[in-house]
Amino acid sequence: MTKIAIVISRYGREINGGAELHARQLAEHLHKIYDVTVLTTCENDDSLIRNTYYPSGETFINNIKVIRFESKRKDQSRAGKLFRYLHKNRIYKNTKFELTNFFQLVLKKIRYQYKNNYNQIFEKWIGMQGPISNDLIQYIKENKNEYCIFIFFMHFQYIVYAGIQEVPEKSILVPIAHDVPSLYFRGFDKVFSSPAFIMYNSIIEKEWVEAAHPSAKNTKSDIAGVGRDKPIVNPLLINKLPEINFPFFIYIGRIQKNKGCDIMIDYFKYYKQCYKNNSKLVLIGKNFMSETDPSEDIIYTGFISEQEKLFYLQNAISLIIPSPYESLSAVTLEAMIIGKPVLANGHCDILKKHIDLSNAGYNFYNKDQFCESLDKLLNMSDKEKETIANNGISYVEKNYEWKSIIDKYLKVIEEIS
């Protein structure tokens, strides 16, 4: 049987969103056809310098072999800190990244310090992007002939940057790219020109990458995204879950500033001041914002199971996606497939396109639009709810059905191998 390796920095049942969930779902669908092994680290999140949440070695998750390798993170050098600063201070004009005079000045200083050795600077910077596992890279190097295909997730991670160089001719890259300043670092030219194939999540993501790295146009590619099957709540679980006697909006994912959560919380507090009602905001996921203020209107559940998450989602008024940077947003599709409307950050091209094409929610661009949209969602008639639900379900079934996505992967895998 054809052996496939999926390479991603974090992997586990406890990670129920983002690229990690995408990778797990793809692995489980491909496992029906191929012998799939996941190569990953012992990390569960990116909050620690060294994370040994999972033990190293072999394990099985849903009958798929998972090999975990110990990892670490490099100390931040002065160049690394400067690049991290540049990475955090995203500068846009009409959603397109451009170098400001300040950016150019800082970059000039970095280049002078390292005698114009851009590769050295980039290596230091990318060494801080996700975990470093030399053991994982060494495993790929020593066992590359055992696998027909390596599927790498997240172009900006060190293990992807280093791993693809070991198996370029048999690699598929799933970049999970966002329109942020770091995408334009020319050190990524090698990442996007090396693999045998790039599988993008959307046409917009492909346009971002090829605008930033024209050499990517020479790499074969297609648009696949992630599939969505309609989930089912286990009725035996419902009695074990807390009784909800208030209307609520929901956020699912990592609770971080770079996901727009600080703005969402601020906007929701403003909404509660302007509109007197008993609605609440429920945030599901690990909280990385230590400075969050307690509020009776905002509930943090922490990490919960898939069934519990689905229960909350099914009973919510709407899903809120405040992130300005997404390459697909699987949770948006998850909400739509069960008929829930979505309130999305319109500054994110991907989310805006989901809403515009599906007519299954609203976009917001500022505080007032956020509040007006919440009020509309809270007071929708039964007929409006039914229309928006049908719109979302039809959109996902038409565009994100697993069979067509897997067929694309099968075609590419057979072609490469």
Tens-digit pLDDT string for the chain (417 aa): 799 999 999 998 877 667 898 999 999 999 999 999 999 999 886 554 455 678 899 999 999 999 999 987 655 444 345 454 444 443 333 334 444 455 555 555 555 554 456 677 777 778 777 788 999 999 999 999 999 999 999 999 999 999 999 999 999 999 999 888 788 888 899 999 999 999 999 888 999 999 999 999 999 999 998 887 777 766 665 555 667 889 999 999 989 998 999 999 999 999 999 998 999 999 998 888 876 677 889 999 988 888 888 889 999 999 999 999 887 888 999 999 999 999 999 999 889 999 999 999 999 999 999 999 999 999 999 999 999 999 999 999 888 888 889 999 999 999 998
Residue among 17, 52, 21 at smallest CA distance from 38: 21
Residue among 169, 148, 173 at smallest CA distance from 160: 173
Residue 28: predicted pLDDT:
95
CA dihedral 342, 235, 19, 135 (to 10 degrees): 160
Residue 138: predicted pLDDT:
97
In sequence order, the 6+-apart residues with CB closer than 8 A to the CB of 199 are: 172, 173, 174, 221, 222, 223, 224, 408, 409, 412
Residue 270: predicted pLDDT:
95
Residue 66: predicted pLDDT:
97
Cβ proximity of 41 and 72 under 8 Å: no
Residue 88: predicted pLDDT:
44
Can you give the pTM of this predicted structure?
A: 0.74
Residue 249: predicted pLDDT:
98
Residue among 290, 131, 155 at smallest CA distance from 213: 155
Residue 78: predicted pLDDT:
44
Element (H, E) at 298: strand 298-302
Q: What is the rounded CA–CA span in Å between residue 150 and residue 153?
A: 10
Q: Residue 67 region, left (φ>0) first, then alpha (ψ -120 to 50), else beta?
A: beta
Using CB atoms within 10 A of its CB, is residue 182 exposed (0-12), middle (13-18) or buried (19+)? buried
Residue 118: predicted pLDDT:
64
Q: Please report how the helices 330-337 and 18-30 are oriented relative to each other, as an axis angle in degrees rounded to 10.
A: 70
The runs of H, that is alpha helices, within 223-296 are: 235-238, 261-274
405 SS3 class: helix
Strand order in the sheet with 280-284: 298-302, 280-284, 248-252, 318-321, 342-345, 361-364
Q: What is the rounded CA–CA span in Å between residue 362 and residue 356?
A: 8
